[in-house]
Each structure stands twice: as C-alpha cells, then as structure tokens.
C-alpha cells in the first residue's frame, strides 16, 4: 500500500480509497483519506 503523511495525526499512514491523479504539470500523484481521522492525504509521485 501507498503511505502518505497525515498532518492531523502527525504520522505516516496508509492511504485509504487511494486514487491515482495527474497534476496540472503532468506529474502523477495519489490522493485519498487517512484511515484514523478521515483527513485528506496526498502524495506526489507514482505509488
């Protein structure tokens, strides 16, 4: 699983409901939610 830093929990967490997206400049990214608190988490790069 892909991990991202959750600013609310202040820890690295696995991304729940991860979706691959593309930024405006064409770079890949992964977006989803934190499994603990439900906050949106985001990671740039392939995951």
pLDDT band for position 46 (50/70/90)? confident
**Which tens digits make up the pLDDT trace of 22-44?**
999 999 999 999 999 999 999 99
Burial status of residue 29 (CB atoms within 10 A of its CB: 0-12, 13-18, 19 or more): middle
Task: Give the predicted TM-score (pTM) of the model.
Answer: 0.83
Distance CA 8, CA 21 (A): 22
List Cβ neighbours of 23 (8 Å cut-off, separation of 6 or more).
Answer: 29, 44
Q: CB neighbours (10 Å) of residue 47?
A: 15
Q: Percent of the chain scored above 90 by pLDDT?
A: 91
């Amino acid at each position: 699983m892909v991990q991202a830093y959750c600013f609310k929990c202040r820890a690295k967490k696995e991304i729940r409901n991860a979706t691959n997206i593309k930024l405006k400049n064409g770079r890949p990214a992964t977006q989803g939610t934190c499994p603990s608190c439900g906050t949106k988490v985001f990671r740039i790069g392939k995951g």
